[in-house]
Structures are given as C-alpha cells and as structure tokens.
Structure 1
Amino acid sequence: MRRSSIMRLWLVLILAFQLTSQLALAQRASTETSRERRPNILLILSDDCGHAEFSIQGHPRYKTPHIDSIGKNGVHFRQGYVSGCVCSPSRAGLLTGRYQQRFGHEFNIPPAYSETNGLPRSETLLPQLLKEVGYRTIALGKWHLGYAPQFHPMERGFTDYYGFLQGSRSYFPLKKPTRLNQMLRDRAAIPEEKFDYMTDHLADEAIAYIKQSQSQPWMIYLAFNATHSPNDATAADLKAADGNKIYAMTIALDRAVGKVLDALKECNLSKDTLVIFINDNGGAGGHDNGALHGKKGSTWEGGTRIPFLVQYPAKIPPGQVIDEPVIALDLFPTILEVAGVGDEELKKCQFDRQKLDGISLIPRMTGKTQRLVDRPLYWKSGKRWAIRHGNLKAVAGNEDQGDQAGLFDLFSDPYEQQDLSATHSQQLHQLEALYHQWESTLEKPRWGSSPGKKSGSGTDDRSTDNP
C-alpha cells in the first residue's frame, strides 16, 4: 500500500515536471516569435578592382548593373576608403573594426605556411559577436588572414566556411592544389572538379547557404577573389568583353552579385537584409583607377579609395549619394547597430566598444544626422603613410615622391596633382603632428612585407599575393 502511494506520488511529480517544462518551452517560443528577428547581413568584398571599373563609378564601358543596384537602392558613398592599401591588412581592419597596425598586421601575410603569422588571436572579430547573439556566420572565398589551424575562419567566429586560405589562386579547378590554395569545406579539403569558374561558384555557395538558413538570422562574408590575378576568364565572358580579361572578370563578378541579390528576392529577404559592397584596396597594376593618383600598395587615393555601396530597404531610403569620407572600419559598428547588438550583450562577450576605430553610419544613412562626425583617417604601410582630416590630406613615402610629405586639398584637387606643402606649411605640420601621435600608439609589425623585399618597405604589387 505504502509502495503504491509512493509510486503515485512519483508519477504526479513527473507529470507536473513535464507540464512545467512544456509551458516554459511554449512561453519561450512565444517570446521568440513576438521578438523582432534580427536582420541578415551580406558583406560582399571584391578584390583588387580598379576604383573606376564599375558603371556606378563612372566607367564609360564597364557595365555592372547588379553591383550598381546596391547603391541605387540605398547609399552610394563616393568617398569610401579601406584602412589598408593591400589585401590582408585591409581585411584585418574590416573584420576587427580597428586599424590593423594597432595589432601589428601592417603587411600582407607572407605566402608560406606559418604557425605564428596570422590575424592575432587577441583580436575579436565581428562574426564572433554576431555568433554570440544567435547568428549563423558564414565565410566564403578568400581568407588571407592566416594559414595555421588557430587562424582558420571557424576559429575566429564563423560557424561555416567554404573557400581557400591563400591570397590568390586559379579561378579554375587545380590538378594539384597546395594546403594553402586548396578548397576547404569547413576544415576539410574537398575535390576541386566540382566547380567550373570560381566567381560563379562562390555565388552559388552563398545562395545555398541563404536557402538553408531561413530559421535564423545570418551573416555572410562573401569574399570574392575577383578580380585579383591570375587573369582567368571564361570564353563567354571574354567574348562579351572583346578579349579584355579584366572586364571579362568584372562581368562575372557583377553576374555573381546579381545571382545572390536575386536569391534574396526569391526568399523574400531583400527588405530585411543589410547588403554592403566594397573592394579591399585600390586597383592593382593594369586596372583602371580613373583619374585617381596611384594604385594598390600606395597611400595615394588610388591605393585606398574604393567603391562603397550599402542597401537596407527596411531602414535606409534609396537613391542617396553621400560625399563625406567613410572608411571600412565604420562597417563593424554599423553592422552591430543594424543587428541590435547592444552594450549589455557586448559586456557579456567582454568586448569594449571603445576599442573600435570606426563609427556607425546608420544615423547618417537614415537621416537622423545630416553630417558625419569630423575625424582624421590614417593609412600606414611601412614608410608610406597618409592622413586625411576634412578635405586636407598629407601623404608621404610613395615611390613617386621625395622625402618631403605632400599636402593636397581633395575638395578642389581630388586627383592629388597640386602639392600645397610649400604655401600651406602650417596645415601640413598640423597633419604631420596628428599622424605621428597616432603612429606612436601602434604595435610593431609582426612580420615583414613581401618576400624578397626589405622589411617595412610596404611594397606590394599584384605578384605579392600570389603563391
């Protein structure tokens, strides 16, 4: 009798526990349903494209309607910059929201396996924070931030990865890939014969992830290697470009971006997806930077000015053109604001927002403010450096300069042709003082510049990203 009573009591307790658990789950589900879903983030990065090689940037021949549509459906920042004049440092700044020289990532990572060369583990990357608040974080394409396992994208906050680790590789399948340029699905190497042309293939991969990820917000970092060397193009694109290989590669890039944008529409996600398109540095040799002075590897405008396009139909009015200078470092705080990642969540992640060097662009893009805050922008690659504050820019150390820094007014002289240093020496000294104050806060470079070049030279042309 007593045993029977005990058994009945246990049964009642179990049923009560199950009922309580079911009610808690139902309440949690109801809360999640009623809470506004965080928007998706699509960050598209092209590689080595010339500043002028897009029709939205004014190229008379290149037609890039799909890339152009991002700016037309949102904001075209006509004075957009990156924080580095070559590939790897620029990416390090983008994903940390900090000047990469602060943690010694000043030069391209040498194209050889190393257990130590990579974006320092002490730095917090944007996907780490988004992952903590429920995002699926997907990296696709070129990595170029370290080759050893501890630098792998999935060790730096990405939940998924498909791409290659090195700075460049063929756009076609390789018969004998190396461990640096082989294609990886997450951490495992995969057969290469499964794709035809890299640019289209990365777009197809992005589309597959978009369609898989309907139940949770996602961030996709889509890092095309287009249009970096080698100048590989399909026969059809070459024909459409009248044999111009760089234009043929650009046709493929625009097509790929269009396919991904179409997938957003198909999945009814366009309105609630922040889409960003930028390039990683100024155009490399052989590319078209328009009338800008310099190219990739320099701290002239041609080395750091990029196309900078943003759309987010749910919040950002279309058709805006903004001429105030912005930098890729601004994208980290911008994305945090769009994703609704507040101070309390950052505190749980032990992340200090004050460490960021950029500012959120959301108030400017939504019309809450009429102008961006006035702040200096800095560039450094070995002996080459520059600072812009307002319309004035001091620049020094480039190959076509002497030892003296030049001073230029980018409002009246955007192509840096009229050196004002002799007549405006006081303004130059003020900018130099600001630059050297910033420089004093930086960490020593963790590795030298390109193989075969003197450490600290900062020299980098198209060949230095190659195997």
Structure 2
Amino acid sequence: MKKSLILLSILTLAASLVSGEDRPNIVLIISDDQAWTDYSFMGHEHIQTPRLDRLAAESATFRRGYVPTALCRPALMTLATGLYTHQNRTSGNDPADTEQNATHARAAGKTAKELLISHIDELPTLPQLLGEAGYLSHQSGKWWEGSYQRGGFTHGMTRGYPKPRGRHGDDGLKIGREGLDPVFDFIDEAEEQDKPFFVWYAPFLPHTPHTPPARLFDKYKELVDSEFVAKYYAMCEWFDETCGQLLDGLENRGVRDNTLVVYVTDNGWIQREDRNGYDRHSKRSPYEAGTRTPIMFSWPGKIAPSERPELCSSIDIVPTILAAAKVTGPKNLPGLNLLPVLESGKKIRRNTLFGESFAHDIADIHNPEASLLYRWVIEDEWKLLLSYDGRPGKMRYPPDETAPLLFNLKSDPYERTDLADSNPRIVKRLARKIDRWWPVEERTVKGLD
C-alpha cells in the first residue's frame, strides 16, 4: 500500500512538472496582408521594421516560408486547425448566394454563414488542444469563426458577428491599433495562476483601412510618390511597432526565455499606386506575392538563431507548437513537426510544398472543390501552377491562365517567365505530385493533357 502511494505521488509530481514548468508559453504573431518583401530584414528599400528585424536575428528564420491558401479566413483556419483548406472546408471568406448553400442551410436549420462557422465545431483546434494540457489561451485580432470560445480559447476579444462588417473579428480588431492592454492583462492573469499561456496575436495590421499615425505617414510620403503606397508602408512600420511592444512586454515580465514566439503572415499584398487596393497577383493568388512569407521560430536557449534555406509552410506551425508544448496532436495533421530540426540545427528532409487557391466566396460550403481555382506545388526551385474552372464568386478573380505555368524560382523569383512549354516532363511529373497530394474529381484542369 505504501509503495503504491509513493508511486502515485511520483507520477502526480511528474505530471505537474510537465503541465507547468516544462511547458513553454507560446505567442503566435500573424501579420495581415503583408508582402514577403516588406521588411527591412528581407531587404526592402524603404520599409523599416526594426523590431521584427531583431526577432528575425533571434529566430530560426525561413525566408522561403509559404501559406497554402493566400486569403484571410482560410489562412487563419489552417493556423487554427493545422489542416489544408480542402481538409477543413473553409475555402473562402463568405458563402456565396448559391442554391447549394441554400439547400445545405435549410437542411441544417441555420443560415449559410452560421453553417460555415460550424466547421470549427467539428475539428480539434490548437487552443483547444493546448487547453486540454493546462494552457490558458487568448484570442485577439482577426478571427472569423464566431466567438473566441468557438475556437477553444479560454480568453479573447471577438464576440462573433455583432454587426454586418464585424464578421472577421469585431472587438478583436481593436488590438494593436488601440494598444495591447487586453493581451498584457491576460498574460498577467496566466502568470498569477501559474499557468502556461498561448497568445493568438492577429492584429488588423497592416490591413486596410490604411490609417497610420501621421508621424509615420509623413515619413514615407518623403520617400515615395504615391500616397497609397506611403500609407501602406507606414502601416507596416506601425504593425512592427506593436510587435515590439508585445515582445517588450514579455521581456519586462520575465517570461521571454520560456516563450516560443512564432511569426507568419496570412497572405501577401502588393499595394497599387493608383488607388487603395492590391495587385491581383498578390493576395488571393497562388503567386509568390500572395503565398510567400517569412516564418520565424524564436525560443531562447532552445532554438538557436539561424538562417534556414529550406522550404517551410504554415501547415507546419500547429504540429511544431504542439510538440513544443508536449501535446499529442491529431494523427491526420499533414504538416511537419519541425521542433527536432529546429533544436538540432539539422536540415529538413523535405523539398516539396503544396497549396491551393479558391474563390473569395464559397460556392458550396460542404465541397471546397466547387470553388477551386488553382492547385500548386513547389519542388526545390521549381513551381507549377494548375488552374481550374471553379466558380469565381461575386468578387471575381477567375484564372486568366489557360495552361499550366512553370517557374524556376531560383532564377526567376518574381515569376515573370513561364517555362512550361520547354519543360513538359517537369510539368507532368509535378502535376502527378499534385494529384497524389489532393486528387480532384469534379473540376477541369485547364490545358493539361
């Protein structure tokens, strides 16, 4: 009996050590509509990002990072679930007014918008899984899936659809633009309870409306001719300032050394010079200006700062965070747990990434393929785009392409020269890779025999 009690005490003590001291705090920083080039550490001529430059210097930094789907809601859903868009079925920002969606909504007794949100109820989420291991979690900024509680957060700012234009975060969109007090209050509460914490920091920055502080706008007006571009540049630096405030808050509270900080963007952006909008080959597109992003992992004493030349995807973030938190994730996660290679410095044994692009408005809530516009693959320096005849939706960006496009990203990082005609074997080989990754059955691929 005494031995049993001693063994039970030892096991209880071990569990408590894993659940508390051995689990790092986690901060996920998500930029909103920012090109992969638009940081000083990525070589931008004008934009200054000293706080993120410092984070990059302290991180394992992947300059060739990607998001599988370059649109706000699908990109965030991947970060919440660790699944590709065709797996979590949230392929666009809003349900289109189609007969398919109306039929699904009637059958479920819900509106189409609520039915779309209910996808989150069917999947284990990152904050939910961390919560089961004793984490407190806080949502701020962009969040499309109803209230923060729907996503498994214990704390948060988004209430869920309080007004027509609040569908993507409502009160949460104040973070950064109106300070970071809600995040710091949460961290203080978690520290008081001696709980590990997870922070989802996804401010509405540098996203429109481009309303930067006058001091930053005036600075960039002196550097560029277009006021639209100057405002966007100023928004990037404003976002950088808020990241510095967040990181300084961790330092000031003495918790930075036990905090894993992860950085990524939801999608890219090329600011138009003539109006407040973006180039169609950036956000929402499968091109580099839409899908590419720096991805950073910073954990003092655990992950040595380094420049990582390998490919990395946001699909890898959930399994890596779960591993750092010593949480066993779902077996169906397609991304890599990068923690072992981040800690060891060894090379990632993968040379291929996949992605997909869909219409802004979802033609069929239960069938992502109905809205499919592109599938793409990157293998080493090669990138293949296949375009499809999915329904574009009310915000029209159907593919102009009528044949596969092949680019060599090493010699042509801005995808100006299509090499498909001169490399048919590479096209067919990469197309077969795409089909093995996600075979489609209904949509017709354009121009591929």
Other-structure match for 2:408: 409
- Equivalent position to 1:378, from 347, 350, 355: 355
Q: CA separation of 1:391/1:40 partners in 2, compared to 1, >3 Å: closer, same or farther? A: same
Note the aligned Cα RMSD (angstroms).
3.2
Distance in 1 between residues matched to 2:200 and 2:17, nearest whole Å: 27
Q: Is the 8 A contact 1:161 1:184 kept in 2?
A: no
Q: CA separation of 1:106/1:326 partners in 2, compared to 1, >3 Å: closer, same or farther? A: same
Distance in 2 between residues matched to 1:368 and 1:56, nearest whole Å: 21
Other-structure match for 2:44: 59
- Map Cα deviations across residues 8-34 of structure 1 (whole Å, 9 max, x no partner): xxxxxxxxxxxxx9xx99995797369
Q: CA separation of 1:220/1:280 partners in 2, compared to 1, >3 Å: closer, same or farther? A: same
Distance in 1 between residues matched to 2:220 and 2:48, nearest whole Å: 10
Distance in 1 between residues matched to 2:280 and 2:379, nearest whole Å: 18
Pairwise CA distance, 1:234: 2.5
Distance in 2 between residues matched to 1:30 and 1:106, nearest whole Å: 42
Q: CA separation of 1:285/1:236 partners in 2, compared to 1, >3 Å: closer, same or farther? A: closer
Q: CA separation of 1:58/1:330 partners in 2, compared to 1, >3 Å: closer, same or farther? A: same
Other-structure match for 1:362: 339
Other-structure match for 1:298: 285
Are positions 1:280 and 2:266 aligned together? yes
Distance in 1 between residues matched to 2:283 and 2:28, nearest whole Å: 21
Task: Write out aligned runs for 1:150-189 (5 A).
Answer: 152-163=147-158, 165=160, 180=167, 183-184=170-171
Other-structure match for 1:203: 180
Pairwise CA distance, 1:373: 2.4
Other-structure match for 1:392: 382
Distance in 2 between residues matched to 1:73 and 1:321, nearest whole Å: 10
- Equivalent position to 1:80, from 51, 58, 65: 65
Task: Write out aligned runs for 1:13-32 (5 A).
Answer: 32=16
Q: TM-score, normalised by structure 1?
A: 0.75
Question: Amino acid of the residue matched to residue 339 of structure 1?
Answer: A
Q: TM-score, normalised by structure 2?
A: 0.77
Q: CA separation of 1:434/1:27 partners in 2, compared to 1, >3 Å: closer, same or farther? A: closer
Other-structure match for 1:94: 79
Unaligned segments of structure 1, at least 5 residues: 1-20, 167-173, 186-194, 347-351, 446-467
Other-structure match for 2:140: 140
Are positions 1:228 and 2:207 aligned together? yes
Larger radius of gyration: 1
- Map Cα deviations across residues 173-201 of structure 1 (whole Å, 9 max, x no partner): x9x9866478448xxxxxxxxx9x75243
Question: Amino acid of the residue matched to residue 48 of structure 2?
Answer: K
Pairwise CA distance, 1:238: 2.3
Q: CA separation of 1:179/1:394 partners in 2, compared to 1, >3 Å: closer, same or farther? A: closer
Pairwise CA distance, 1:81: 0.4
Pairwise CA distance, 1:386: 1.4
Pairwise CA distance, 1:141: 1.2
Q: Point out the more displaced range, 128-137 or 202-211.
A: 202-211
Q: Point out the more displaced range, 98-107 or 54-63.
A: 98-107
Other-structure match for 1:115: 114
Q: CA separation of 1:143/1:182 partners in 2, compared to 1, >3 Å: closer, same or farther? A: closer
Distance in 2 between residues matched to 1:125 and 1:202, nearest whole Å: 27
Distance in 2 between residues matched to 1:156 and 1:216, nearest whole Å: 19
Pairwise CA distance, 1:42: 0.1
Q: CA separation of 1:164/1:226 partners in 2, compared to 1, >3 Å: closer, same or farther? A: farther
Unaligned segments of structure 2, at least 5 residues: 97-110, 222-226, 274-278, 359-371, 388-396, 444-449
Are positions 1:216 and 2:195 aligned together? yes
Q: CA separation of 1:251/1:317 partners in 2, compared to 1, >3 Å: closer, same or farther? A: same
Q: What SS is found at the alignment partner of 1:115?
A: helix
Q: What SS is found at the alignment partner of 2:406?
A: strand
Question: Amino acid of the residue matched to residue 40 of structure 2?
Answer: S
Q: Point out the more displaced range, 114-123 or 41-50.
A: 114-123
Question: Amino acid of the residue matched to residue 84 of structure 2?
Answer: Y
Q: Is the 8 A contact 1:387 1:393 kept in 2?
A: yes
Distance in 2 between residues matched to 1:43 and 1:415, nearest whole Å: 28
Pairwise CA distance, 1:314: 2.5
Q: Is the 8 A contact 1:394 1:408 kept in 2?
A: yes
Other-structure match for 2:33: 48
- Map Cα deviations across residues 310-342 of structure 1 (whole Å, 9 max, x no partner): 211120112x11121110010011001111114
Pairwise CA distance, 1:209: 1.6
Q: Is the 8 A contact 1:142 1:165 kept in 2?
A: no
Pairwise CA distance, 1:93: 1.2
Other-structure match for 1:458: none
